[in-house]
Structures are given as C-alpha cells and as structure tokens.
C-alpha cells in the first residue's frame, strides 16, 4: 500500500495553491519524509513542477531539504537524475547546498548507461543555477558520454560550455552511426556548446553535427534553426560548412505557406539567424525576405531592443542586410524602408538608455598623469574634433582601445610580477578623465568608441558621449557609411595595374587571437582596398641588398580583427614593424622604426546631431 504522502500527491493538487499545499503537507508529515526516500523525492519533484520558469524561486522548506540530504546516499541513479532536475528548477539556495552533494553521490556510481543520466542531469542543474567549480564532476560526465542518450549528451555539453568545463567538450565519441537518434534540439544544443566554448573537437564530431543539423532542420523549431546557424557562424573550426548553412536556410523557408508561424520564430531568433547567414557569406534571398517580413513591424523591433541592452541585435540585423547588399549580391528595393526603420529603432533605444542612465552634459575634467606602455607612447591621446556628443580622438601607438572582452585592469601594481611587462594605457581611462560621458563606464558599449585600433597602430577614433549618438553612428558603420582610411608602409613593391587593389580573402580567427586569411569558403567575408602612393628604397647595410617599400592608402569595407595586417601579410607585404604578422622583418625594422607603420588618418561620417 502506498504511503499517505504518496497518495496525497497522486490525488493531484490545484496548481494555484499547489506550492502552499505541498509545503504544508511537508510540515505535517516530517517523520514520514525523514523515513521514506520515495516520499521525500516525490515532494521535491512536485514542488519543482509547480515552479514555472516565470515564477519567483523560493527556498526549499527546511524539512524537505533535511530529508533529501538524509536519503542522498541511498538514491538510485534515476532518483538522482530527477532530484537534480528539481533542484535546477528550484534554484538557489537549495541547489547551491544540495547539488554538490548529489554530484558526490553520482560520482560513486559505476560509469555506464545506468549512471549517465544522473551525471548529465546534475551537470545541467549546476549550469542552470551557475554553480562553478564543477570540473571534477564534468570529467566524470565526459567518461560517460558514450553511454548517454542524445538528450543527456546534449545537456552535458551545454552545461560544460556554460560552466567553462572543457572535459566533455574535448571528448568526441558522439554521433558515430547514431545521427538518426538525435533530435534537432539536441543537435542544436551540442553545436551551441562547441561554438560558445570556441572549441572544435576531433574525430569528425563537428562535421557529423553539421550534417545532422542540415538533415533534421525540417523537423526542428525556429529556435533550433537559429541556434544551429549561429553556432555554424561562430565555431572556430577547419570544417567547410557553407553547404549545411544553405540547406538549413532552405528547410526554414519551406515548412508551409507561412514559415514564421509554422516554425515559431521569435524576433531574436530571426536576428541571430540572418546575422549567421551573412557572417558565413551566404545570401539566401528567401530567408532574408522572411526575416524582413518577421521584423518590419515596430513591435518586433522594440522586442529586439528589449532583448539586448546595447542594441546589439538591431545592429546585427542592419549589418547582415548591408553585407548582403555590398558583398553578396543582394538586390531588393524593399530593404530601404526596413533599414530606415532599424535606424529609428536604434536611436529610440539609445534615447531610452540615456534617460535611464541620467545623461551628463558636456564639460571636461582634469586629465590624469599619462604613463606609457610597452616601449613608450608617442604622447597622450588628444581630441581633434568635437561636435555635441560626438568626438574624434587621436590614439597614439601603444594605447589599448578596450571594451567588451578586454581583461580587467589590475587592482594594484603589487598584484603583478615585477618581471611582467607594464599594462598598456587604456583609452577608456582617457575618456573618463576628459569627457563627461554617460557611456564611458559601460564596457559592454565599448566605453562609447565606435570601433577599435590595434594597440601598436595609431590614428583617429570615433567616440560618442550618449547612447543615442553611439547607436546612430553604429547604424552608419553597419551600413558602411563611415569611411575609414589608413596609411601603411609595407615591405616590397606592390604593383597595381588598375589603380586599386582589392583583398577579398576571408578571415578566420586563430585560437591565439591572431587572424589568418583562409582559402575557399572558410572564414568570414572581408574586403580591404589599397592604392599605392609611393615606392621607397631602403639603403643597403651589412652586405644586404637595398630593401623596397610601398606606401599604401587603404580603406576597409568590413572590420575583421587585424584585417589590414592579415591581408597584407598574406599577400607577402607585411606592415613595417608588425610584431605579429611581419616577424621575419622585425629585427631590421626596429633599427629605424619604433612602432607599427599603420595609421588611420581619415574618418568620414554624418554627424547624428546635425553638427
């Protein structure tokens, strides 16, 4: 006969009053919960089932927490898996206290099919409530990956990426002859994990995942399609997956008369998908048209703005359509009104941010003492033009344009080794000390800078003191309406018969942070234009023949990391004194040039405030 507690649960409790009823029953049946593992686990599971994602998370009643902790050593693998799911739903503080103990109990299980679901569920719950320090448990989960069901394996990979645990992501016994067992959501979750962790497992794992994603796209949802496309555009691998991207786009456009409704695409999923297509260099006319139809309503653009505080999603859609028009051959007159609607939405979002942050007015504050970075700097930065909220600032070589993704500054000089090189001075410090700006302290918004310059390079930077001006300029840049022109002295004689030389090699980011020009369909689209201004010859020294150089004027259509330097080096003409891409010439270059000979000398843009 079932215990009274179990019978009360089976009878079904009203959802609205369910939580209070469960908590009340827990207090009334404390002795039974303490003696029966089944009763305790059923109560916790029931309580988690009443905690919807939108509901506020509440503490696990002490009597339930104590009972569950008492029974942990005797729980079966299936019960451990269910309790991990429940604790993940309930959230902290109960999960923070009990999940590590669940993990210890699960690690005592023999690796194999029986314990694999529990290991995967516990890792998933740890990631859901952000309990870090799970490396030991992640290694146990990695050992069980071959025994996991597809959903469990996908959950384990997703959790590993969230918790930055590398063990499961380094394993690759996945999908070997079992592509048919993986559901579209499982494939998308696994791809998302590898892309988020910026890792590419061996054994052909990614290739099989790409193939499975394209084969199963017609069975998936809009979220599955968006996650798969985003991962394909983001993951850093040597796999050519252009054909799989096209196959997924084909599948997304043919589920019925209205694919937006059939697949349940949300605005954020459309934005991520179209960005991914453009980043892969794919123009799929039907897919772009579907995205425009799904986002052209003002309510959809407002939802996009609400999903990204910095306006990143709106900017990504703008960039994707602009890249398709400039580089991928897109021709559609209807895009004009849509792109203008995106501009208005970005400016409106910027004004909202300004009102929330309490935008400070103009003015200047005393500039602090400037300390040089590695090798010394050619003087401090300076403002060369200012109009309202927009400034053009000169960056000397040796200064870092920091922002999102930059390492935090050292808290004190004593925290670093005396032998380590001094940190480069940062442009954000200059802006904070010189301009009264609402954006200067916001690293996610790049401290107000529209673009970056490599540390060893010099030149002009565009800065905005308000979010409205920053997002208006961001729209111009993503529409390729901000001209950026450079001067570079490069090795060798660059011959250009037609006057303008175009470098169109795709750019791939290496694991060490440098860029390389890829062959074929790998990498992201990139274009650099160059025109020779002068040819120079260096004097012979040490028995060597005289060296030849070319002074180039350059402009960029795209803005990949180290794009100019990588394109020129790949063509056999590295920039003078380039430590990363011209190291074979560095020793001789340093005898007469102290800094990277690359300088941004011209910016052209429309003042968003009409100045």
* Paired residues of 555 in beta bridges: 485, 529
Looking at the structure of the chain, the number of domains it has is 2
Q: Which residue has the tokens 């900017």?
A: 315
- Pairing type for strands 390-395 and 458-464 reads antiparallel
Quick check: is 109 in a domain? Answer: yes
User: How far are the Cα atoms of 278, 510, 545 from residue 406, in angstroms, in the given order?
Assistant: 26, 17, 43
Q: 110 Cβ partners below 8 Å, 6+ apart?
A: none
Quick check: is 460 in a domain? Answer: no
Q: Which helix (H) or strand (E) holds 82?
A: helix 77-90
Distance between CA atoms of 194 and 213, rounded to whole angstroms? Answer: 14
Task: Point out the least confidently predicted range of 41-55, 61-75, 155-169, 239-253.
Answer: 41-55
Task: Give yes or no for a contact between 522 and 233, defined as CB atoms under 8 angstroms apart.
Answer: no
- Domain of residue 579 covers 482-610
Quick check: is 386 in a domain? Answer: no
Domain boundary among 171, 192, 214: 171
CATH number for 511: 3.30.2350.10
Quick check: is 367 in a domain? Answer: no
- Pairing type for strands 598-604 and 458-464 reads parallel
Quick check: is 379 in a domain? Answer: no
Quick check: is 184 in a domain? Answer: no
Distance between CA atoms of 120 and 142, rounded to whole angstroms? Answer: 9
Q: Give me the pLDDT at residue 393, please.
A: 96
Nearest residue to 157 (alpha-carbon basis) of 223, 227, 89: 227
Distance between CA atoms of 497 and 520, rounded to whole angstroms? Answer: 25
Q: How far is CA 298 from the centre of its chain?
A: 26
Q: Give me the pLDDT at residue 80, please.
A: 82
User: How far are the Cα atoms of 156, 170, 348, 473, 475 from residue 470, in angstroms, in the given order?
Assistant: 39, 40, 12, 5, 9
Domain boundary among 117, 151, 171: 171
Q: Which helix (H) or strand (E) holds 77?
A: helix 77-90
Distance between CA atoms of 227 and 316, rounded to whole angstroms? Answer: 15
Quick check: is 61 in a domain? Answer: yes
Q: With pLDDT > 70 as the criterion, what percentage of the chain qualifies?
A: 80
- Of the pLDDT bands very low, low, confident and very high (cuts 50, 70, 90), residue 172 is low
Each residue of 537-546: pLDDT tens digit? 875 554 455 6
Task: Give yes or no for a contact between 460 and 393, defined as CB atoms under 8 angstroms apart.
Answer: yes
Q: Give me the pLDDT at residue 11, please.
A: 39
Task: Point out the least confidently predicted range of 4-13, 271-280, 452-461.
Answer: 4-13
Q: What are phi and psi of 590, to 5 degrees?
A: -70, -15
Asked whether residue 488 carries a pLDDT value surpassing 80, the answer given is yes
Distance between CA atoms of 256 and 472, rounded to whole angstroms? Answer: 38
The stretch 312-335 carries a mean pLDDT of 94
Q: Give me the pLDDT at residue 40, please.
A: 75
Asked whether residue 93 carries a pLDDT value surpassing 60, the answer given is yes
Distance between CA atoms of 23 and 593, rounded to whole angstroms? Answer: 74
Question: Is 241 or 295 the better-scoring residue by pLDDT?
Answer: 295
Q: Give me the pLDDT at residue 111, please.
A: 61
Task: Point out the least confidently predicted range of 5-9, 193-197, 472-476, 487-491.
Answer: 5-9
Q: Give me the pLDDT at residue 60, please.
A: 74
Domain boundary among 142, 171, 200: 171
Q: Give the chain's mean pLDDT.
A: 81
Tokens of 577: 């004194």
Quick check: is 206 in a domain? Answer: no
Confidence (pTM)? 0.81
Cis peptide before 93 (omega within 30 of 0): yes
Each residue of 135-160: pLDDT tens digit? 777 777 777 777 788 888 888 888 88
- Of the pLDDT bands very low, low, confident and very high (cuts 50, 70, 90), residue 491 is very high
């Amino acid at each position: 006969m079932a215990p009274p507690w179990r019978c009360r649960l089976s009878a079904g409790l009203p959802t609205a009053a369910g939580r209070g009823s469960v908590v009340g029953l827990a207090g009334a049946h404390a002795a039974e919960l303490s003696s029966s593992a089944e009763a305790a686990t059923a109560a916790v599971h029931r309580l988690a089932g009443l905690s919807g994602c939108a509901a506020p998370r509440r503490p696990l009643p002490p009597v339930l927490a104590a009972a569950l902790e008492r029974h942990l050593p005797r729980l079966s693998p299936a019960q451990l898996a269910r309790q991990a799911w429940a604790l993940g739903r309930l959230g902290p503080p109960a999960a923070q206290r009990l999940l590590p103990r669940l993990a210890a109990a699960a690690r005592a299980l023999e690796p194999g099919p029986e314990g694999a679901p529990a290991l995967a569920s516990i890792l998933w719950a740890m990631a859901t409530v952000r309990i870090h320090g799970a490396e030991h448990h992640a290694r146990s989960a990695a050992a069980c990956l071959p025994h996991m069901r597809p959903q469990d394996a996908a959950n384990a990979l997703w959790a590993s990426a969230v918790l930055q645990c590398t063990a499961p992501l380094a394993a690759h016994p996945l999908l070997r002859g079992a592509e048919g067992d993986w559901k579209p959501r499982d494939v998308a979750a696994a791809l998302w994990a590898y892309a988020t962790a910026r890792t590419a497992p061996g054994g052909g794992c990614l290739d099989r995942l790409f193939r499975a994603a394209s084969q199963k796209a017609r069975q998936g949802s809009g979220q599955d399609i968006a996650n798969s496309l985003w991962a394909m555009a983001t993951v850093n691998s040597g796999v050519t997956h252009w054909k799989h991207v096209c196959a997924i786009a084909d599948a997304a456009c043919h589920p019925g008369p209205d694919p937006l409704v059939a697949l349940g695409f949300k605005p954020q999923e459309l934005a991520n998908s179209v960005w991914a297509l453009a980043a892969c260099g794919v123009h799929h006319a039907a897919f772009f048209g579907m995205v425009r139809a799904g986002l052209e309503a003002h309510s959809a653009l407002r939802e996009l703005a609400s999903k990204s505080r910095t306006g990143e999603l709106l900017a990504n859609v703008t960039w994707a359509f602009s890249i398709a028009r400039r580089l991928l051959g897109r021709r559609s007159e209807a895009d004009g009104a849509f792109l203008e609607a995106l501009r208005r939405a970005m400016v409106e979002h910027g004004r909202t941010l300004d009102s929330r942050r309490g935008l400070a007015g103009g003015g200047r504050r005393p500039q602090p003492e400037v300390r040089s970075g590695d090798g010394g700097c050619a003087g401090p930065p300076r403002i060369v033009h200012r109009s309202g909220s927009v400034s053009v600032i000169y960056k000397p070589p040796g200064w870092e344009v920091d922002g999102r993704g930059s390492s935090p500054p050292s808290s004190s000089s004593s925290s670093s080794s005396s032998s380590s090189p001094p940190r480069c001075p940062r442009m954000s410090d200059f802006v904070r000390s010189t301009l009264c700006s609402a954006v200067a302290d916001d690293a996610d918004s790049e401290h107000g800078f529209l673009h970056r310059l490599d540390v060893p390079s010099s030149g002009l930077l565009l800065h905005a003191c308000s979010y409205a001006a920053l997002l208006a300029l961001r729209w111009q840049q993503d529409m390729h309406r901000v001209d950026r022109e450079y001067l570079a002295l490069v090795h060798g004689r660059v011959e250009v018969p037609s006057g303008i030389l175009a470098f169109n090699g795709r750019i791939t980011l290496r694991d060490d942070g440098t860029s390389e020009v890829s062959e074929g369909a790998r990498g992201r689209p990139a274009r650099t234009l160059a025109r020779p201004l002068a040819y120079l010859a260096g004097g012979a020294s040490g028995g060597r023949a005289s060296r030849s150089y070319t002074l180039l004027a350059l402009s960029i259509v795209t803005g990949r990391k180290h794009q100019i330097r990588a394109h020129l080096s790949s063509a056999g003409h590295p920039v003078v004194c380039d430590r990363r891409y011209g190291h074979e010439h560095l020793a001789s270059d340093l005898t007469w040039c102290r800094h990277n000979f690359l300088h941004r000398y011209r910016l052209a843009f429309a003042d968003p405030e009409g100045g």
